[in-house]
Amino acid sequence: MNNRVVSKNYKGELPAGDQSARFRVAWDEENLYLRVEVEDDRFLVSPELWERPKAENSLWVHDGALEVYFDTGADGRTNLEKTFDDDDYRYDFSISKTGESGPGQVNRFREVYHQLADGIHMPTKAEVAEKVVSDFQRTETGYTYTITFGQRYLEPLMLRKGFTSGFALYLHDNDEPMLGYCPKGLSLATQAGAACDYHPELWPLMILSE
């Protein structure tokens, strides 16, 4: 991940080694697996942020929060409105409330239209938070995410050879304890300096292969 995004309001420095990340994706007929390995010169744990109302729905305020996007119809480039549509997901991940390594927080921030994903039986947000597995591990130089998405939590994306979807990541970074949000990060958007939220036309295409 080498597309750096910096808020216009950010006045701090960007030292060498500020943040770097790489990712790997694998799949089988039951699960999609994502691993993100991050080096970060300063990783902040902010337990006070969990005291905010509906904190579980605002994981993006935490240092190291990860946004994962799927355009299950791979139609972001042909959407004339250039924004989310009915076949897009956004999943958010963060460190746990304890601030320790282990199972991390999971939130399905945005979901596809329910009729595309098993109708009235579509997984609830609560089920997603329990069943989408996210392991967050602190390391000497940063942290890692190891995430498992079951097929049920990606529909109508199909885990089969040749299936194409949009796929993107955005990784938050904050070096200032009192800031309360993350003013910079790393993005997979295809436009330099652009984040991924609300811009599926900038998400790379992912083609499942053997």
Q: Which tens digits make up the pLDDT trace of 117-147?
A: 999 999 999 999 999 999 999 999 999 999 9
Q: Which tens digits make up the pLDDT trace of 11-64?
A: 777 877 899 999 999 999 999 999 999 999 999 999 999 999 999 999 999 999
Rounded to whole angstroms, the Cα distance separating 6 from 107 reads: 24
What are the structural domains, with CATH classification, of the chain? Answer: 3-207 (2.60.40.1190)
**60 three-class SS:** helix
Closest alpha carbon to 38 in 186, 204, 189: 186
Is residue 197 over pLDDT 80? yes
Instruction: Tell me the torsion sign for CA atoms 121, 124, 126, 128.
Output: positive
**Percent of the chain residues past pLDDT 70, beyond the cut:** 100
**Percent of the chain residues past pLDDT 90, beyond the cut:** 91
pLDDT at 15: 77
At residue 61, φ and ψ (nearest 5 deg) are -80, -15
Strand stretches in the chain, DSSP E: 3-6, 19-27, 31-40, 66-71, 88-94, 102-103, 105-110, 133-138, 142-150, 164-173, 184-187, 205-207
Arithmetic mean of pLDDT, 167-172: 98
192: which strand partners? none
Arithmetic mean of pLDDT, 161-184: 94
